[in-house]
Amino acid sequence: MLTAFPASGILSRLYYQDGGQRRWLVAWTAVAGWPLAALALLPFYLQKDTHPTRPTWGLLLAYAFLGLLSAADNLMYSWAYSYMPLSTASLVAASSLAFTAFFAFCLVGKRLNAFTINSVGVITAATVILALDSSSDRPASVTRRQYAVGFILDIAASALHGLIFALSELVFIRFLGRESTHVILEQQTMVALFGFVFTSIGVLKSGDFSTMKAESKKFLLGPTAYYMVLIWSAVSYQVGILGSVAILYCASTLLAGVLNAVRVPITSIAAVIFLNDPMNGFKVLSLLLTAWGFGSYVYGEVKDAQSRKEGGDNSRSKCNDESVEGLRADQELSSNLYNKDMVPVKRMSGGQSGNI
């Protein structure tokens, strides 16, 4: 996860930096690796107690809608990457955390604690700093207007990314009612498949496939490197998605969120090393503020998790003490436990789309 996502971003930016110009094609690579997620489902289906989720028209329409949003999200990120250095684009994309918190509050009813609000404010300040210092790292071949368009599209894509997170959780609540590793993989596979279909239509309509041969000959690293960049960009992005799901399965949602936050500075530093991106004082300040914002968010999640655990322990202890009072207390205890178990969904840390 910490290597696959930065690698995908570096390869996507390398495509533009060395002569590539097809935005639909780069957006297509973000979903072209969907068969890898489908293959990862096979070991789960071979288990006796695991079965594919029965599709309904409502669930399929939800997946199709998320796939359409994913295609639009990847296309906006693709345009942003074509105009902005990767180190800057990844820092701006970190604002998706603020949008995720906002949409989770509005659509899912997730409570915003003081640490979450602080993280939103700090990350917003980091984005504003980058906007005010936009002229210092603008590529020579990019005009001021193009850079501004890329910056705006990066923020818009981050907002859409946050919306996709919240809507994905709503799909679990409304249609699935449970969250397990194979169900998360099913959702990722189906959303990526629909995103692949919508993006493929865009690639065909724009003629990007037909221009690949001519474009590969003009690629600075050569035709072979041209195709390798696109192929490994698609593979590395899906490997990052699978890594996120694996962390959810083997560790915790919180760890997945922490690693998702850590990959932002890793991507920025890798872009400076491998792509010679400029790194000035304003960008360093923005990077530090972004790290502060992510740290505040993670600390708030830890505090909330501890509070829920302590509250659950106190509730169970109280119920056990009162259970000796008679059958009525036992019945109330059973009812309370049943109602608590009817809240099966926790927040997802993975995404169906992302900055490519």
pLDDT at 127: 84
* Residue recorded with tokens 């990847």: 74
- E strands present in the chain: none
Could you list the mean pLDDT of each consecutive 10-residue stretch along the chain, which spans 356 residues? Answer: 88 94 96 91 81 88 95 96 92 85 85 84 85 76 91 94 88 77 86 96 94 95 96 93 72 60 82 88 86 83 78 54 43 38 38 50
Six-digit token pair at 192?
């990526």
Angle at which helices 114-132 and 86-93 pack, to 10 degrees? 150
Sequence spans of domains, the chain: 4-341
Give φ, ψ of 211 to 5 degrees: -95, 0
> In terms of residues, how long is the chain?
356
Using the 8-state DSSP alphabet, how is residue 135 labeled? Answer: G
pLDDT at 226: 97
Report whether 114 contacts 40 (CB < 8 A): no
Report whether 105 contacts 112 (CB < 8 A): yes
pLDDT at 49: 76
Name the residue type at position 75: L
- Give the Å distances, CA to CA, from 136 to 127, 283, 284: 15, 10, 13
Q: How many CB atoms lie within 10 A of CB 149?
A: 17
